[in-house]
Every structure is written in C-alpha cells, then in structure tokens.
C-alpha cells in the first residue's frame, strides 16, 4: 500500500458560505499527488453540516468528514494530526482556497528535498474589492537561530497556513496550544524553524481571502491571546531550544508592540499606551523604534 504523502485538513467553523469553494479546490487536484482530504466541523451553528453532506453525496469516497464539539482552531488542527496518515500536513482554512497545482508542486518539491520538514510557499492575497496581490516566499536563513529571529523579531518573512506543508514529526515537541486563541500558530512555527530543516517553494499554494470579519483582524481575539501566555508558550523548554532563550525579552517587547499597533489603529489609545510601556519595560531598545514611539507620544493628545 502506498503511503499517503500529504494530508490536507480543513477546519470548518461557521464558514458554510465558502466551505464548498475550499473543498472543491482540493478535490480538483487530489489525484495529482499521493494525498487525501479531511474536513473537520468544529461544532458549527450555521448550515456547515448540510453543505458537507451535499459535498459528500456529490463526491462519494473522495474525502472524509468529522464532526466534533466546538473546541477552537487548535483543537481542530490537533485532531487533524491524530486522524490523518499523511507524512506532511497542510491546514487550509475554510474561507481560503488551494491554488491549482499546489499538491503537484509540493509533491515535486518534497521529492527534491526529502529532508525538509517545513515547506513555505507563496500565496495570493485576495481582497474584497477584487484586487489580489502575490506574496512571494522569501529566502530563509540557513541558521536556525536566524530563522527564529527573522520570524519572531525582525519579521523578515511570514508563514501562512494553507501556503505551507509540515512534516508530522515537527509536532513531537508540541502540538497546537489549545489554551491560546488567534496566535496558536506562533509556538508551532517557531519550534519548527528552531528544530527542523526548512525550505521555500517559489509557487503559489493558496488563495488567502482578506475580509473584515476574519479572526486574523479581530482586535478582541488579539487581546484575548495576551502577551505573557504567548511568550511563555513560544519559549517553553519543550518547544524552544535553550540556546535561543536569550531572545525571549525581545520577543516579549515585539508582542507588546504588535498589540500596541492593533489598539492604536482601532482608536484604543489608552490601551495602546499600556502595551507600549510594557514593551519598553521588556526591552529598553523599544524607545529607539521611532515609528512606535511617535505614535505613543501622539496618543497622549487623543
């Protein structure tokens, strides 16, 4: 029996209106590689179950569906790891779409780079007004420390679910943290960059749709994720090698500045100042980051 190379997992929670598009985008190319598809309904309260029933009837035996009580995105991804057998996993959000040729591209790339444990691909950002922008996959530093620093601190590259594939061995140090919301990717991507070989694929793997109600842009979700919890999880001993723990305070400052920026852009100036001063306390060099410091000073008069 041929081993499944890639398992695609689609977490679905109240995205019935876009779920068909996501599923069909995978099924259209499922035979281009040794791949399978699992859709997990995380206790949706809309008509997700009906959409999945119709898709299953239209495509008998072509993909699996699993229903579970609502537990959040981390719980869905962790269940996906348990329920699939693919050597690599792709987590595609229900409001996004797999780009044509993505599975074949991953199959070919993995054949050329059999040691890779994280493949970071390009993707298209799709906007509500019809615009789209190609987000290229930037080259990665060869050294693990520089990869971690570039991802957590310098923001020289980013990683998007749907546009990356992860070897299932990368979850040995830790799965997705179910106590964190909205930033559950950070600890996982950081541990992969720190511990495993990573490569870049210069091919769009997904269409990622940007819209106002996306969890990615929800200030309440960002605030709920907090700062200390996130930093502690990223730099937990099981995830992050001890030789990288000297980056912890700088990451604490960076995390506070991210929340400062989100609050400032939403007009929450008092809260924004709180996060700015937390960043300053965590790392004194925050003061020299003039774009943030100028906004913090402006917030005093708003």
Which pLDDT tens digits describe the chain residue by residue (302 residues)? Answer: 458 999 999 999 999 999 999 999 999 999 999 999 999 999 999 999 999 999 999 999 999 999 999 999 999 999 999 999 999 999 999 999 999 999 999 999 999 999 999 999 999 999 988 999 999 999 999 999 999 999 999 999 999 999 999 999 999 999 999 998 888 999 999 999 999 999 999 999 999 998 765 444 567 767 777 789 999 999 999 999 999 999 999 999 999 999 999 899 989 999 999 999 999 999 988 998 999 999 999 999 98
Beta partners for 203?
A: none
Q: For strand 118-127 and strand 198-210, is the pairing parallel, antiparallel, or unpaired?
A: parallel
Enumerate the domain spans of the chain.
6-217, 245-299
Q: Is 145 exposed, middle or buried (0-12, 13-18, 19+ CB in 10 A)?
A: middle
Say which CATH superfamily domain 6-217 falls into. Answer: Spore Coat Polysaccharide Biosynthesis Protein SpsA; Chain A (3.90.550.10)
């Amino acid at each position: 029996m041929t081993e499944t190379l890639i398992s695609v997992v689609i977490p679905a929670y109240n995205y019935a209106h876009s779920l068909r598009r996501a599923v069909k985008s995978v099924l259209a190319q499922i035979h281009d590689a040794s791949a399978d598809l699992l859709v997990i309904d995380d206790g949706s309260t809309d008509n997700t179950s009906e959409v999945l029933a119709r898709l299953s009837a239209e495509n008998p035996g072509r993909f699996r569906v699993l229903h579970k009580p609502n537990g959040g995105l981390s719980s869905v991804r962790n269940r996906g790891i348990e329920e699939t057998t693919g050597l690599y996993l792709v987590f595609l959000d229900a409001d996004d779409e797999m780009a044509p040729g993505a599975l074949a591209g991953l199959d070919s790339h993995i054949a050329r780079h059999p040691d890779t444990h994280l493949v970071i691909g390009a993707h298209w950002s799709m906007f509500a007004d019809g615009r789209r922008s190609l987000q290229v996959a930037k080259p990665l530093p060869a050294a693990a420390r520089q990869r971690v620093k570039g991802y957590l601190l310098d923001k020289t590259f980013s990683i998007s679910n749907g546009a990356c594939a992860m070897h299932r061995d990368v979850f040995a140090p830790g799965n997705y943290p179910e106590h964190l919301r909205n930033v559950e990717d950070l600890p996982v991507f950081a541990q992969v960059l720190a511990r495993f070989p990573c490569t870049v694929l210069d091919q769009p793997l997904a269409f990622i749709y940007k819209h106002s109600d996306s969890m990615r842009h929800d200030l309440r979700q960002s605030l709920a994720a907090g700062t200390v919890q996130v930093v502690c999880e990223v730099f937990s001993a099981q995830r992050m090698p001890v030789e990288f723990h000297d980056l912890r305070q700088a990451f604490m400052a960076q995390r506070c500045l991210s929340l400062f920026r989100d609050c400032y852009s939403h007009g929450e100036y008092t809260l924004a100042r709180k996060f700015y001063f937390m960043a300053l306390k965590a790392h004194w060099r925050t003061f020299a980051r003039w774009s943030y410091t100028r906004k913090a000073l402006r917030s005093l008069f708003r």
